[in-house]
């Protein structure tokens, strides 16, 4: 895969894209009670945080997760507004290179 450092999504674009994908697929992949909880609590305690891909993605994908081109977005709820997300609903792996649309999601069980 040839990727261009100058053709990447910004961090904000990456967060927005991951959240949009999450919203589109959540109803089909989460327990209905979790969807209701997330929707009710997101305004006060919800968030999406951007990270370099964690090592455990290697169990799910078979390619190099160069942090220059791949990001992990954790979506969920925190105990307090602005706190660390500790109630995770999804972990989204995205390719940030604009010409390589790739997304994997690990959903809450």
Query: What is the per-residue pLDDT across 45-87, written as a single tens digit (0 to 9) for each?
Result: 999 999 999 999 999 998 889 999 999 999 999 998 888 999 9
Amino acid 98: pLDDT: 93
The structural domains of the chain, with segments of one domain joined by +, span 5-107
The continuous run of DSSP H or E covering 71 comes out as strand 70-78
Question: What does the alpha-carbon distance between residue 92 and residue 106 come to, in Å, rounded to a whole number?
Answer: 7
What's the rounded Cα separation, in Å, for the pair 81 and 99?
Answer: 35
- How many DSSP H helices and E strands does the chain contain? 2, 4
Instruction: Identify the CATH number of the domain defined by range 5-107.
Output: 3.10.450.140
The first and second tokens of residue 83, run together, are: 């706190």
Average pLDDT over residues 4-30: 96
Strand (E) or helix (H) holding 54? none
Q: What's residue 1's pLDDT?
A: 66
Entry pTM: 0.93
């Amino acid at each position: 895969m040839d990727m261009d450092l100058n053709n990447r999504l910004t961090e904000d674009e990456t967060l927005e894209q991951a959240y949009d994908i999450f919203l589109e697929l959540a109803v089909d992949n989460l327990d209905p009670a979790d969807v209701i909880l997330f929707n009710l609590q997101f305004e006060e305690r919800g968030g999406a945080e951007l990270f370099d891909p964690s090592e455990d993605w290697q169990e799910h994908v078979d390619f190099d997760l160069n942090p220059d081109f791949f990001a992990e977005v954790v979506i969920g709820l925190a105990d307090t507004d602005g706190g660390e997300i500790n109630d995770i609903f999804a972990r989204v792996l995205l390719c940030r290179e604009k010409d390589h649309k790739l997304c994997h999601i690990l959903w809450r069980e």
